[in-house]
């Protein structure tokens, strides 16, 4: 029954894309059908075939092994804060160093030309099947590996001349996926590696699907049918490339740490205010004679109410829809790091909340993306700096791109729900 609900959820998400489309008549069925086909094919391969399960399990094990290498480096700097299990899980010393190490690896892979080959290969598949332009396909695939701020650098020469639909695609693609360095950090937190890897890869075509529903192409792209990726090599050797990548990773790790401190503290402050509000309403109700009335309010409760219908249509078991809605709300209103940290505590059994295995799988896919309000500002600022003449278009498309990114993640989650 829940699988059938997920099918209706998939249609509902596509329907929302059509409802908010800027030009419904210009929607191209080829992009939508091939985009869904690529997602469904990948999901079938991962969830329903032995080869797919084995491949992504092995890939997840490889990432986990990389995390062990991170512990060696972090252990040298932080000592027992990393290796002593009696101290428990310390996020700053056991997760953030992963971002630094993966940043160094990405720097090496780019210097050697490995990432360029992988990104170009996948982008060519999307251009040939979906019919998207070369520039937007490269950016969408690049977001899976390097993130929403860095991926547009791959297509920097083309941004100023891009169509509005292409600008929408690169912004939505960035918010529908997560960067490789951050993905490794989530795996280190205990999020299922195989599903997380699949979710981010599926996010690339999903982002293009939602972008082309919300802002269909009505102009002629200068990179139509072509894939050309050139990355200027500024490092003199592989050691400098690793050092630069590590420095970039350290900058990101500091930002993540600061962001979590601020947002989790803000949640605690808001919850305190909501608790007082609920307490006041409860006392007022008692004065009116409703002695059994109790209202317990928190930011999680309110977000759970707001987003529970979306959780239900993704195929989440009914008893979990409010908790799942709260996770979705945290991801969109705050950021996915806060939501994944909550999910990791549920998986580890250290949270008072309990979720069904099906819900955890769907949540892993639904939370996989940078769609939140701060990402809108990052996209306008980052991409706008590369093409100042397009800042106005980027600002107009920002909130719609956030919506597209969030719906793209929900789209991958419903497909996982259909097949789970």
- Per the CB < 8 A criterion, the answer to whether 405 and 371 are in contact is yes
Q: Which ranges of 288-390 does DSSP label H, i.e. alpha helix?
A: 299-313, 321-329, 336-348, 357-366, 373-386
Query: SS3 for 290?
Result: coil
pTM for the predicted model, two decimal places = 0.84
Quick one: angle between helices 391-419 and 193-214, nearest 10? 130
Residue at 330 is within a domain: no
Q: What is the mean predicted confidence (pLDDT) over 267-286? A: 87
Give the count of domains, the chain.
1
* Residue 403: pLDDT over 90: yes
Residue at 313 is within a domain: no
Per DSSP, the chain holds a count of helices (H) and strands (E) of 18, 0
> Which pLDDT score, from 0 to 100, does residue 363 have?
95
Residue at 39 is within a domain: yes
Question: Which residue do the tokens 């929408």 mark?
Answer: 168
- pLDDT tier at 99 (50, 70, 90 boundaries)? confident
* Residue 86: pLDDT over 70: no
Q: Which ranges of 79-192 does DSSP label H, i.e. alpha helix?
A: 80-83, 91-94, 96-112, 114-130, 134-146, 164-176, 180-188
Tens of pLDDT along 242-269?
998 888 888 878 877 887 788 778 888 9
Q: What is the mean predicted confidence (pLDDT) over 16-37? A: 94
Which residue would you say has higher pLDDT here, 408 or 119? 408
Residue at 10 is within a domain: yes
Q: What is the mean predicted confidence (pLDDT) over 369-383? A: 85
> Which pLDDT score, from 0 to 100, does residue 228 have?
64
- pLDDT tier at 230 (50, 70, 90 boundaries)? low
> Which pLDDT score, from 0 to 100, does residue 88 have?
55
Which residue would you say has higher pLDDT here, 150 or 208? 208
- Per the CB < 8 A criterion, the answer to whether 142 and 111 are in contact is no
Residue at 341 is within a domain: no
Domain of 57 in residue numbering reads as 2-273+358-419
Query: Is residue 115 exposed (0-12), middle (13-18) or buried (19+ Cβ within 10 Å)?
Result: buried
> Which pLDDT score, from 0 to 100, does residue 30 have?
93
């Amino acid at each position: 029954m829940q699988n059938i609900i997920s099918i209706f959820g998939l249609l509902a998400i596509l329907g929302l894309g059509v409802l908010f489309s800027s030009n419904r008549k210009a929607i191209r069925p080829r992009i939508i059908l091939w985009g869904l086909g690529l997602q469904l094919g990948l999901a079938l391969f991962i969830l329903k075939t032995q080869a797919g399960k084995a491949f992504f399990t092995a890939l997840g094990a490889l990432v986990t092994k990389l995390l062990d290498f991170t512990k060696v480096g972090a252990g040298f700097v932080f000592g027992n804060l990393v290796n002593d299990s009696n101290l428990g899980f310390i996020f700053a010393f056991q997760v953030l160093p992963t971002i630094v190490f993966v940043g160094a690896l990405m720097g090496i892979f780019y210097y050697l030309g490995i990432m360029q080959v992988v990104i170009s290969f996948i982008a060519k598949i999307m251009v040939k099947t979906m019919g998207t332009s070369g520039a937007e396909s490269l950016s969408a695939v690049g977001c899976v590996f390097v993130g929403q701020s860095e991926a547009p650098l791959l297509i920097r020469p083309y941004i100023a001349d891009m169509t509005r639909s292409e600008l929408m695609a690169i912004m939505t693609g960035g918010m529908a996926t997560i960067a490789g360095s951050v993905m490794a950090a989530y795996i280190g937190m205990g999020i299922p590696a195989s599903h997380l890897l699949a979710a981010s890869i599926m996010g690339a075509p999903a982002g293009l699907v939602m972008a082309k529903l919300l802002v269909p192409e009505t102009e002629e792209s200068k990179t139509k049918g072509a894939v050309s990726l050139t990355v200027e090599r500024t490092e003199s050797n592989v050691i400098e490339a690793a050092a630069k990548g590590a420095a970039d990773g350290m900058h990101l790790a500091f930002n993540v740490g600061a962001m979590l401190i601020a947002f989790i503290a803000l949640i605690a402050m808001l919850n305190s205010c909501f608790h007082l509000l609920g307490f006041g309403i409860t006392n007022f109700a008692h004065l009116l004679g409703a002695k059994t009335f109790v209202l317990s309010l928190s930011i999680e409760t309110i977000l759970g109410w707001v987003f529970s219908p979306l959780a239900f249509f993704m195929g989440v078991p009914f008893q979990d829809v409010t908790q799942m809605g709260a996770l979705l709300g945290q991801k969109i209103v705050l950021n996915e790091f806060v939501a994944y940290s909550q999910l990791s505590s549920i998986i580890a059994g250290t949270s008072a909340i309990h979720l069904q295995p099906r819900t955890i799988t769907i949540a892993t896919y639904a939370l996989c993306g940078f769609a939140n309000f701060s990402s809108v500002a990052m996209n306008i600022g980052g991409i706008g700096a590369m093409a100042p003449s397009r800042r106005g278009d980027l600002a107009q498309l920002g909130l719609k791109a956030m919506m597209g990114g969030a719906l793209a993640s929900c789209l991958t989650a419903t497909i996982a729900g259909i097949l789970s």
